[in-house]
Amino acid sequence: MKIAIADDHAVVRTGYRRLLELDDSVEVVAEFADGESAYRWLGANGADLLILDLSMPGRGGLATLQRLRQRVPQLRVLVFTMHESPTLAAQALRAGAHGYITKSSAPQTLLDAVREIGRGGCPLSIEVAEARPGTDVTIPAHQSLSPREFDLFLLFARGNSVEHIAAQHCLSTKTVSNYQSAIRHKTGLGSTLEMYRYAERHGLLSSATPERLQ
């Protein structure tokens, strides 16, 4: 199985590679530090599976996942992230992920997940599988957001301004403002503080701390 790895930490990628190459049936063919590089390379080159982190510079992991699903539909994607939120896992699976494993899992879990996807399965971390959301009223409002909107929602929740997001992600302030309006409309959250409190309550920010609240 040819595998690509997308994670913004070089040490983490090296650890993944060494672990995966313990299996003779696995070959790591590419590594990426951001979603855009992964999208460009995988659109032009072959791989069977992408191991994808959700928190990376530029386009977030969910947006990258959705774009890859459209451009390279045969590519399988395993999300490997620090986020243990079942609702975030649901977002990833809905965007096209074939499995969702948290970084708090034992190392063997990653190898097992890769093999399970190779057999056509959908591996989930225990904490995600046990609390996987269904279709009842307990599913929160942010489930209505697109992957791109969800990525930006997390940036707003962490206290980033429209101008800061636009500058950091090569977007116009008008585009970011339009996303902000759509997010507010879909979630009913009117301020950065409300977004932060909502995201914190639903376990979407993990250990992240907002830069500033307005």
- 208 pLDDT above the threshold of 50: no
Reference 90, options 30, 150, 180; nearest CA is: 150
Token pair, residue 91, equals: 């977002």
- 48 pLDDT above the threshold of 90: yes
Q: What is the pLDDT of residue 78?
A: 95
Coil, helix or strand for 7? Answer: coil
Q: Which pTM was predicted?
A: 0.64
Q: For 53-67, how does the pLDDT look when each residue is reduced to its tens digit (9 = 90+)?
A: 988 877 778 888 988
Q: For 85-108, how does the pLDDT look when each residue is reduced to its tens digit (9 = 90+)?
A: 777 888 888 888 888 998 888 888
Bigger pLDDT: 124 or 58? 124
DSSP 3-28: EEEE-S-HHHHHHHHHHHTTSTT-EE
Using the Cα atoms of residue 33, residue 39, residue 45 and residue 48 in order, give the sign of their dihedral.
positive
* 30 — pLDDT class (breaks 50, 70, 90): very high
State how far the Cα of 167 lies from the Cα of 108, in Å rounded to an integer. Answer: 40
